[in-house]
Amino acid sequence: MTDVDQTALESLLVADFGRGSSRAYLLEDVGGSFRFVAKAEHRTTGDLPYEDISQGWKTLVRQLEWITGRSLSERERMQTPQLVGGDGVDGFLITSSLGEPIRIAILEAGQTPVTAPVMDALRRVNARTFFTAAPTARKDNGWSASQADALHTFQPEMVLIIVGGGAQDAVPRLVQLAKQVGMIGSVSRAIVIADGAVQEQSMASLGGKIKARAISPVVRQPQDIANEIEREVGEAFQARLQTSDFELIAGEAMRAPISRAHAVDLVNRFIARAFHRNVLTIGIDDGVHGHWANHDGGTLATLPQIDLTAQITGLSGREVAEAVCWLPFEATEDDLITWVLNRSVRPWTIAEHQRDIAIEQALTRQVARRAVAEIARTFPMAQTSTDLVIGGPALARWNQPGAAALVLLDSVDVVPNNGVVDLALDPDGLMAVTGVVGTADPTLASSLFEYDALLHLGSAVIIGGQGADGDLACRGEIHFDNGEMAQISVNSGSIEVVPLRTGQSATIVLRPERKFSVGGNPTGKTVTLAEERKITGGLVGVIIDARPRTLASGTPRAQKVRQWLESVNGIRSGATVRTFN
């Protein structure tokens, strides 16, 4: 790695290497603020016919040079530090999602406080997990055989055996399964977290071909054990990246590369702490990642086997079939399955026709909801407390802010406690860039985030309650700062949007009907959103959402979805605006 004087950082080049496509970002001090200047994007050249990521990287650098009219490299190496004339940069950083995730099987028996922090730690690294807990009932009911078959399919590279209290009946089954794992052939290392005779049994069951070690949960604290496993898995993943072509590029960087998911998670937690928000970020790029944080902490859910960007992978048949409920036109489950199969064998296809875009949006809802469900396993109250939802670059590629806002709303699909959810996009992938910049200089990262990272779509007010479709759910007014007022009337099962553009703010008075409420407030209670709760505008405006929860019906409802899309896209509106005298 290259040593750079951090006090002199006035420009940075950041590489974001992905399995499908890679990006290069030029960042620079502009008028005393660290800003995003230019971005280049190109297919990653790690696979055939190139098998050398440096080829694509050189193309990215040349694109940036052409865009900015300045030289960034000299003799195929980065030109550092930046020259007086403007050529070169002061530093170079890398974030990456290259490489397949480490496959880890977690076998548990009994009750133990170790499993939860270990699972949380594995979500922060590029790992794919298989979890199973040995039953304590007298009868096995075929558990060992079914889990052995599933593990053979999963092909784990690493095994964690975790044994806690009350595991007398479960341990023999766990040991039997561990013996099966030892014969798979794909496992190279294992960690046994147990004590006493159970530790010895578990170690012996793995056989002599697997590099195994033991950790005592009596001697070590659960969080210490989780941190150690996180470091080990992270180092294993970094070793997987150390191909000769990647090492050549990484050798010029100021810091060791960090994973894209980790970089985004750093920024997600920063937003929660700095702005006192409960924030959820959903990214779909080289896997699906869900990040949730509040001022006390957060969690990360990773589904690296699922993707919708360069190619479609990892979707279950049920998820594809149920996506018909999000389509604004009539289609059967077979139609959707056929579309997915055709797309999966044609990677790099870009949706251009509105029908194809609508199908992409429907599938995006499905995988985003799956990521949110994973987060809910760790933090059951995360959805209802969320007040800011951010979508990654995949949601910006449709160039439909209203549709992107609707996808984010449908992904959370709950009535939030305070009734309001702000919606935003990270259209250029700058959250990952900000995260890796923060490892070098947090001040520069803060400036970059403040000015360039997010695009505010608007605020959504969620009306809860039960009523017949079409019944009046809520009335109210939006009082703009310029003296105008918008009158609102929204029916159950509908969405209405009041235009409130970026930079504008307003006070909202909502009067729900007897069976309806604003967020977690009592039914029928009038709510005024003012002062600290004042609404700010965005590209879409203020969304008043009175649809029933849960939204996933599994059955086609093309006309309703079409009405929702027309509302958020500004084609139809139920709000009338008049000016106070």
- Give the model's confidence band at 520: pLDDT under 50 very low, under 70 low, under 90 confident, else very high: confident
DSSP string, 417-469: TTSEEEEEE-TT-HHHHHHHHHTT-HHHHHHHIIIII-EEEEEEEEEEE---T
DSSP string, 56-102: HHHHHHHHHHHHHTS--EETTEE--S--TTS-S-SEEEEEE--SPPE
- Distance CA(34)–CA(20), nearest Å, equals 29
Of 130-134, 293-297, 383-387, 572-576, the range with the lowest mean pLDDT is 572-576
28-51 pLDDT tens trace: 999 999 999 999 999 888 887 888
CA distances 115 to 179, 319, 444, Å, are 21, 28, 37
DSSP string, 285-333: SSSEEEEEEETTEEEEEEETT-BSSSS-BS--HHHHHHGGGG-SS---H
Amino acid at 203: M
- Distance CA(527)–CA(132), nearest Å, equals 46
202-245 pLDDT tens trace: 999 988 889 999 999 999 999 999 999 999 998 888 788 778 88
Report whether pLDDT(581) > 50: no
Upstream peptide bond of 113 is cis (omega within 30 degrees of 0): no
180-198 pLDDT tens trace: 888 888 999 999 999 988 8
The set of long-range contacts for 310-313, using a CB threshold of 8 Å and a minimum separation of 24, is 310/19, 310/20, 310/21, 310/347, 310/348, 311/20, 311/343, 311/344, 311/347, 311/348, 312/340, 312/343, 312/344, 312/363, 313/344
Is the sign of the CA dihedral 349, 353, 356, 358 positive or negative? positive
Of 98-107, 239-248, 508-517, 538-547, the range with the lowest mean pLDDT is 239-248
Report whether pLDDT(134) > 50: yes
| Region of 99 on the Ramachandran plot (φ > 0 left; ψ -120 to 50 alpha; else beta) | left
Report whether pLDDT(1) > 60: no
Across all residues in the chain, what is the average pLDDT?
89
69-125 pLDDT tens trace: 999 988 888 898 999 888 999 999 999 988 778 899 999 998 899 998 998 888 777
212 CA to centre of own chain? 33
Instruction: Enter the DSSP assignment of 50.
Output: T
